[in-house]
Amino acid sequence: MRIVAIQTSPNTDGLTAATATAVLAGAANEGAETELVHVRHMTLEACRACGNGWGTCREKHHCVIDDDLEVVRQKIGTADGLVISTPVYFGQISEIAKLFLDRLRRCEWAFEQSQVRGTPLIAIAAAGGSGGGVLSALAEIERYASHLGLPCADFITITRRSQPHKLPMMEEAGRTLVRVVRGEEPA
C-alpha cells in the first residue's frame, strides 16, 4: 500500500509540511509505503487553456506542457491514498496548489480510466497567520476532489495555535487513511 502526500507550501519545514509529514508518519506506522512530494519545488506552468479552452487534456488526458505535472500525476496515480496539504493565503489554497489542481483536474476530469478517481483523500488547510480562511480553503479543495472523483476520508484544519494538539491527531488520520484503503473503515 502506498500513500502520497502533496505538500504545496514553499516552506519544507513549516506548518503545512509538518501536517503532511504527520499524516505520512501515521500511515507508515500502519505499514504503508509513503512519499512526500513538495510540489512547490517542481517545475509547473499555469494552464494555457489551449485548443479553445480544452486541448489534449480533454481528448487525450495529457497536457501539452512539458513540465513536472506528469511526474506528479504518475506518483499519485500509483497511490492507494492521497493527502493534499496547502497553506491558506487570503482565505484560499496556495497559488501552486491551485495551479497544480487546475491542471490535474483538466487531465483527469470525466475520464473513465482516470489515474486518480476513487483514491481516498485527506485534505488539509494550514493557516499560520491569523488562523482565518481554513474553512474556505477546505471548501475549495472539496470542489477539486469532487471533480476528480476523490472520496474525502477527512478534511482537517490547523492553525499555528492548534498545532500542538492537531499534529498528533494527524498521525491518527494517517493510520485511519490506511484502514480506509484496506476497506476496514468507510471513506
Strands (E), the chain: 2-7, 33-38, 81-89, 92-93, 121-127, 152-159
pTM: 0.93
CB atoms within 10 A of CB 51: 12
The span from the CA of 64 to the CA of 61, in Å, is 10
Mean pLDDT of the chain: 92
Domain positions in the chain:
2-181
The 10s digit of each residue's pLDDT in 23-64 is 999 999 999 999 999 998 999 999 888 888 778 887 888 889
Q: Provide the CATH number for the domain formed by 2-181 in this structure.
A: 3.40.50.360
The predicted-structure confidence for 85-111, as pLDDT tens digits, reads as follows 999 999 999 999 999 999 999 888 766
Residue 106's contacts (CB-CB under 8 Å, 6 or more residues apart) are 47, 54, 57, 58, 63
Confidence of residue 82 (pLDDT cuts 50, 70, 90): very high
> What tens digit of pLDDT does each residue of 115-135 get?
889 999 999 999 987 888 999
